[in-house]
Chains A and B, each alone.
Chain A
Amino acid sequence: MPEDKPEQKPASPPPPAAGEKPAAAAAPPKPAGEAAKPAAPAKPAGPVPQPWESEMVTRLRNRYGSGIDPKTYLGQNYIIADPSIVYELLQVMRDEEQFDYCVDVTAVHYPQRKEKEFDVIWILYSFPRNERVRVKTMIKDGDPAPSVAGLWSTANWLERECYDMFGVRFEGHPDLRRILLPDGWQGFPLRKEYGITQQDSEWVKINLGIESGQ
């Protein structure tokens, strides 16, 4: 009785061992909106993202229509938004939906996904509502993402780190430069093509006076 977590009420048996189905594509389009929480047909592949319905989603959908795609997965909600509207969406989330705390800004690199290599993710939290939501957009390598440093000051360093690691440029950032790596460093280490032992050997040679930093 005491140990079950609050968010995971549905007792969906999830044998995760053999799960290798591409879940993102398999989400069945279920337009009829109710809670959408119970993990639907028990597939051996484990839970798949379900469409997410709530009052907020209805409000946002009225405004953006098909520009947003709200989903829920394992009790966590996220919105996939079109890059063209994502800044406005984040602004609305802050000003009208009370998401006053930007937890994190980060990215994921999918080099095999042509024309949209990067997922940029904003994790938001609302103190008044005690609710967490992720906003996600997909951008092409080289395209900028909108900077939200003007909405939440905390995004300043978070975006700098994201740029440092992925080379994702944030348009409108007041001071976009490297933060963890040295200024003159070449390459973006968290991209998939960057090897784990790879380094900017020229930088190492010039600044450390050695052949290899390993």
Chain B
Amino acid sequence: MAEILKSEQSASTVEHIETEPGVDKPFLDATELILNMGPQHPSTHGVLRVILKLDGEKVLNAECVIGYLHRGVEKIAENRTYTMFNPYVDRMDYVAAVSNGLGYCEAVEKLLNIEAPPRAQWVRTILTELNRIASHQLWLGTHALDIGAITPLFYTFRDREEILKIFERYCGARLTTHAFRIGGCQYETYDGFEQDVKKFCDFVTPKVDEYETLLTTNRIWLERTKGVGVLKAQDCIDLGVTGPVLRASGVKWDLRKAQPYAAYKNFEFDIPTGQNGDTYDRYIVRIAEMRQALRITRQAVDSIPEGPIMGKVPKVMKPPVGEVYHSIEAPKGELGYFVVSDGSTQPYRVRVRPPSFVNLQALSKMVEGALVADVVAVIGTLDIVLGEVDR
């Protein structure tokens, strides 16, 4: 038995427990332990299973098991018309449904070689940015809750409610909004839409400061997030990680600036970045992004152009044979759609490039050498939505 233990030890990467020959092993040896986290675990934000290989409380290795929420969204797309598939995309990243819809509609518009009218572009930008704030608020509340701070959850959910009210008044739905159509938006803005959005911006600006008073200099928060789950810029690029995670490691890259879509090139905003690429920087970046989103929203709502909200699209959509890839900056990173048309009314293939799926791949690298409690923090900081990981 002792020999087996010894051989296992030498095979493992643990070095500090090597004992001198002749010396008996301690009663409780720090050999490897497999810990199964999830799929039903409150901090995995859905059904994610992580298999952790531990040495004491230190994580040696982590492996994600995903697919519990797989619904075959890409297969469904091939069996629906372009218009019919539109609501399905909302169900992937359900906390940022508006972004999903925007990406899909723009991809198909590109395939059809049409563009939505300016008024629709503006409304799309406003709703997408509001949704970005909502997504970051939900992230902040749950992430802080995972780490042990309960209060931010109540604050962020209280304020997120105001955004959902605007969505509800605009299109009747709160979460899976299906707000956009291929070629524009189906609904004209309701009376008082601009006032509502402005009122919300004024309301939430001090609230973002309020979140910061709870956390930014909180000692427990600092201890739990500083230096945890570090991902350097080079690793981010190698792993294809995008969004706030990439920016927190110091890469100033945002698709809204790099390859502008919707109405973004008309507005001024900054790309907040971090330096260390740790959990704390990602928190700072997302907080700053909320402020930038408010800035964009304010500019957009002041300058909504007049005109039609829906462009001219054929009744039966038959894009010419061809394929396009279009991606947008979703709250979680680069969300891309690769759409192939064979000239019929149904897409031949729709490939979704989900930011959550790709970002989750970085988990095992980020938790290597960390503690079990840090795994919870890292899953939170990656801001994944399992509906999008598994599709």
Interface positions of A (Cβ within 8 A of B): 2-6, 8, 12, 14, 16-24, 45-47, 49, 73-74, 76, 100-104, 106, 108-109, 121, 123, 127, 130, 132, 134, 152-154, 156-158, 161, 165, 178-182, 189-190, 194, 196
Contact = CB atoms under 8 A, between A and B. Distances in A.
Contacts of B322: 23, 46-47, 49, 73-74
Nearest to B327: A103
B227 interface: no
B319 A19 contact: yes
Contacts of B318: 16-20
A2 B263 contact: yes
A106 B351 contact: yes
A108 to B, nearest CB: 5
Interface in B339-361: 340, 343, 348-349, 351, 353, 357-358, 361
B76 A127 contact: no
Contacts of A73: 322-324
A197 B282 CA distance: 41
Nearest to B112: A16
Given A3-B121, A179-B67, 14 more contacts: A2-B263, A16-B314, A16-B319, A19-B320, A73-B322, A74-B111, A74-B322, A103-B240, A104-B351, A127-B251, A154-B361, A165-B74, A179-B66, A181-B70
Contact of B115 (A5, A152, A181): A5
Contacts, number: 149
B12 interface: no
B358 A46 contact: no
B237 A121 contact: no
B75 to A, nearest CB: 6
- Considering the complex of A and B, which 4 residue pairs feature the smallest CB-CB distances, nearest first? A154-B240, A19-B320, A46-B320, A180-B67
A61 B316 CA distance: 41
Nearest to B307: A3
Main secondary structure of the interface of A (DSSP, over half): loop
Given A21-B321, A179-B66, A123 B338 contact: yes
A152 B118 contact: no
Nearest to B253: A127
B259 interface: yes
B114 interface: yes
A16 B266 contact: no
B299 to A, nearest CB: 12
Interface centre among B66, B78, B239 (most CB of A within 10 A): B239
B74 A103 contact: no
Contact of A130 (B110, B258, B357): B258
Given A5-B261, A6-B260, A123-B353, A154 B325 contact: no
A212 to B, nearest CB: 16
B331 interface: no
B213 interface: no
26 contacts: A3-B121, A6-B260, A16-B314, A16-B318, A16-B320, A19-B321, A22-B343, A45-B320, A46-B320, A73-B322, A74-B322, A100-B237, A103-B334, A103-B336, A104-B336, A123-B338, A157-B361, A158-B240, A161-B357, A178-B67, A179-B67, A180-B391, A182-B67, A189-B72, A190-B75, A196-B75
Contact of B357 (A106, A132, A157): A157
A74 B115 CA distance: 13
Given A6-B260, A154-B361, A23 B320 contact: yes
A109 B114 CA distance: 27
A214 to B, nearest CB: 12
B321 A22 contact: yes
A130 B327 CA distance: 13
B85 to A, nearest CB: 13
A44 B129 CA distance: 38
Interface in B200-241: 237-241
Nearest to B234: A100
